[in-house]
Chains A and B, each alone.
Chain A
C-alpha cells in the first residue's frame, strides 16, 4: 500500500463521519478566536439558544484592533466596542482569553504556539487566513469564516472536503542573508498566488530542516498567499523542544512525542502534485506590485507589463517596468505582523540597526508580535537598539499589517514591510507596500532605500 503524508495521517485521525471525496465531519482540537471575526458567531449562538460545546478547547486574544501605544485609551469607538464585545463574549461563555493589555496578549497565530497549545497532530482553526502558521508544528491548521467559527463553537467540528496534497521541495541550502521570508516569497513569485488553491501544502527539504521554528512559522504563515489554506511541515526535535515546558504542553510529554513521531510523512508517500524550488542561489526578495507573486530578487529588474493585472499594479505603485528595488522611494519601514515579528526576526533586524540611525526621511515602526516577544526582546536590550536608531518601539498587535488600529501607512507612501500582503489599500488607503524580510526592512530603514544585505554581512 502506498505511503501516507503527514496531512493524510492527521486528517484521517479527525474524521468523525464521511468518506474521502465528499464533505467529512472533522473534529477540531483547538479553536482560536479574536475580536474581528467572532462577534457575529456569538450573536448567532445567542439567537439560536446554543452554547459553546468545548470552551476548554477554545482560546482567544485581542490583536487586530488593539492600539500599539496608549493601549487602554482606544479612541476609535467602533474598535473599542468590538474589543468590549469580545471581552463580554469570552466571559459569558467561559473561554480563556488574553485580553487587551494582558501579559500573554499578541497576534492570534503567535499566542497559540507560545502557550504550547499548538502541537503536532492537532486540528487547529481560527477565523483568520494566516492560521496555517501553526502548520509548522505538524498540525492541520487553517483559516475559516465566521459561519464556520459559529459552527465550531457550537459543535467542535467542521464539515470539510479533503484538499489535494502538494509537496513543495526546497532544493539546496540558502546563502547567508537569505531568510525564510525570501524562500516563501520566491516560491510565490515563481508559481503564483493561486498555485496552492485546493491543496494542503507540505514544505520539505534541507532548507526547511535548517530553519528555526520561527522561520518555519514564517513559511507556513504565507501558505494562503500561495493560495493554500493549509501549510504543514513534519515535526522534528526542534518542534518538540519548542513545545516542551510551555504551559499547555502535554503532561505526558514522552508519550506525546512517541505519537508525533508516527505522524511524519512516509518515504513513499504519494502527492497529487510536487513543486520544487532551488534556493541555493537565491538573492533577497522584494515585491514591486500589488499581490505577493509580484516579487523579484534583488538581482532582477521589475518585469514588463504582460496583463491587465500588471498594468493596474504599476499604476497603483507608481513604478515602471525595468526599475530596480533600490530605486523605490521608501517613506516607511514596518517590522511586525504574524509573518515576521517573533524574537529571532527582531534579533536579525537589530543586527543591521545597532549603532546606526535611520535615514531622516524614513518613519520606522517596530511592533513585536506578542507581549512575551516584547518582554523577551527588552530583556536582551533589543528595544534600546531600535529606539536609539530612531525607530518607534510599540506594544504588540497586528498593527500596520492591515491598519485596523491607528497604525496606517499614509496615501502614496512606499513602505518596506515584513508583513504578508501588498494588496491595494492593505496598509492604508493608497499606501504602497513592499514585502521583504526583517533584515532587508531594517537595512532599508538605515540606508533610506532598499540595499542588498548580503553586502553588509
Chain B
C-alpha cells in the first residue's frame, strides 16, 4: 500500500448526504476480476449521459476547474449501502486521496483505509467553509499532525492511532496478522466450543 503522510491538493465539493456505493460505482462495473480501471466509471450515472460516456456538464466532476482534484468534500453517511470495495477502488483510481465528510458508513470507512485513502470527519460548519474553497486552492492535509490547512482556517481531525500508523507506513494488514500465528493457533486449540 502507498504511504500517506502530508498531502497537498485541490478540492471538489459534492454536497449531497447519503451518497451510496451504487452511485459511487454502479453494479455493471462489479463484474471485473481485478482492482484497476474503476476510476473512469466513478459516479457513472451522474457523470455521463446515458450509456455513452458523453460528459454530463452539469456534474461538478466534469467542470474543468475541478480537474485533478484529489480531495473530495461531501455530506453525511458517505459510502452507505453495499459493501463493495470497488467504491474505494474507484475513488482511488480516479485520483482522490482524501475524503472529508460528515460521516461514513462503517464498511466503507474500513474499505477506504485498506486502500490508502484517508476518510476525514468534519462537522457541517467546517464543511460549509470548505465547500466555498476556490477550485484552484491547494490545501494541505497533514496526517501526522492530524491537521487540515486552508485559507478559510486550520482544522484538526481525529483518527484511530492504529489506522494512522498503517496509513503513514503503508502497511499491509495480512503481513502483520500472520505474526500472530501462535495466538491464532492457540485460540483454535483452546477457545472454540467443542460442538463446533
Contacts and interface: CB of A to CB of B under 8 A. Distances in A.
Interface of A: 13, 16-17, 22-23, 25, 27, 29, 36-37, 39-40, 43, 48, 50, 64-65, 76, 78-79, 81-82, 85, 121-122, 127-129, 142-148, 150-151, 154-157, 159, 161, 163, 193-194, 197-198, 224, 227-229, 250-253, 255-256, 259, 291, 307-309, 312, 402-404, 421, 423-426, 429
A147 B114 contact: yes
A426 B22 contact: yes
A25 B186 CA distance: 13
Contacts of B35: 40, 146
Given A424-B23, A429-B51, A129 B83 contact: yes
Contacts of B178: 154-155
Interface string B7-41: 00000000111101011001110111111000000
21 contacts: A16-B184, A25-B177, A29-B192, A36-B31, A39-B34, A40-B34, A40-B85, A50-B174, A129-B107, A145-B88, A146-B35, A147-B85, A151-B177, A154-B174, A161-B160, A193-B77, A252-B195, A255-B194, A308-B16, A423-B23, A424-B23
A85 B105 CA distance: 29
Given A37-B83, A145-B114, A229-B106, A155 B174 contact: yes
A155 B85 contact: no
Given A145-B111, A147-B115, A151-B173, A82 B31 contact: yes
Contact of B80 (A37, A194, A255): A194
Nearest to A40: B35
Given A227-B77, A425-B45, A309 B16 contact: yes
B20 A423 contact: yes
B193 A256 contact: yes
Given A144-B107, A255-B195, A424-B22, A22 B162 contact: yes
B195 A259 contact: yes
B114 to A, nearest CB: 4
Contact of B83 (A128, A161, A252): A128
Nearest to A76: B31
Contacts of A40: 33-35, 85
Contact of A155 (B82, B177, B191): B177
Contact of A121 (B77, B103, B193): B193
A229 to B, nearest CB: 5
Contacts of B88: 145
Contacts of A159: 162, 173, 177
A227 B18 CA distance: 10
Contacts of A426: 22, 27
Contacts, number: 188
A403 B191 contact: no
Query: What are the nearest 10 A-B pairs in CB distance?
Result: A145-B85, A145-B111, A147-B114, A39-B33, A143-B83, A129-B83, A194-B77, A250-B195, A78-B31, A146-B85
B68 interface: no
Contacts of B162: 22-23, 159
Contacts of B51: 429
A404 B31 contact: yes
A198 B104 CA distance: 9
Contacts of A309: 16-18
A16 B177 CA distance: 11
Contacts of A228: 106
Contacts of A143: 83, 107
A197 B33 contact: no
Contacts of A82: 31-33
A43 B183 CA distance: 27
Contacts of B77: 193-194, 197, 227
A193 B177 contact: no
Contacts of A255: 194-195
A402 B23 contact: no
Interface in B140-191: 160-163, 173-174, 177-178, 180, 183-184, 187-188, 191
Given A39-B34, A429-B45, 12 more contacts: A85-B33, A129-B107, A144-B110, A145-B107, A151-B174, A155-B174, A159-B177, A194-B76, A194-B77, A197-B104, A255-B195, A425-B23
Interface centre among B28, B50, B105, B114 (most CB of A within 10 A): B105
